[in-house]
Copies of this chain bind each other. A is one copy, B any other.
Amino acid sequence: MSAPAATDLLALDRAAQDLLFRAARTANTFTDEPVTDAQVAAIHDLIRYGPTAWNAQPLRVLLLRSAEARARLLPYVSRRNRPKTANAPLVAVLAADVDFHERLPELYPPQPQARAWLTDRAVRAEQARFSATLQIGYLVVGVRAAGLAAGPMAGFDPAGVTREFFPDGRHEALLLMIIGHPGLDAWQERLPRLSTAEVVQTL
């Protein structure tokens, strides 16, 4: 199938397709322009409608705005990711709330018994990671919807960041994300993508 034909099959207009996926890129450099709390709130206000299991919404976002907070993060970041983490306008720690079940009676009234199914912490942690990771997918889209570039980074020590920033023991750090307006030479060439034939099979 040719690209224009595929594009025409979508209800989302081409400019939005480009903004969110086709022209969007993971940025490695940023301008000095700040990312405001109002922008973060607008992004969250959009993506919070994305579906999660039991509507649990376990994603938690910790913004490291102070120089002190960012300095606490850097030792846990891979050497390769450290300079861009030090210089990005905004750094967020994306975490899962393993005790999300406490809110289920309010968030998922159709199954009041759901909370009682989740007394096992290991089961909850797996569920929390799954739904929070889905929400990180929505967040990547939401950051781009705000006209910003997202730089998701897995190159860090999640256990160390969890200990450092979530001493309550109820959260698990999943991913770091740097956010801002793309700067000079913000990205390398687009890496190859798998074709539909390689990803989708039919029975």
Contacts and interface: CB of A to CB of B under 8 A. Distances in A.
Given A22-B49, A137-B50, A145 B17 contact: yes
Interface string A51-64: 10101010111111
Chain A interface extent, by class: 35 or more
Interface in A147-203: 147, 150, 152, 154, 165, 174, 188, 191-194, 196, 199-203
A193 to B, nearest CB: 4
B42 A6 contact: yes
Copies in the complex: 2
A116 interface: no
A203 B69 CA distance: 6
A46 B22 contact: yes
Interface string A122-154: 000000011001111110110001110010101
A37 B49 CA distance: 28
A121 interface: no
Interface string A13-54: 100110111101010000000000111111111111111010
Contacts of A19: 11-12
A192 B106 contact: yes
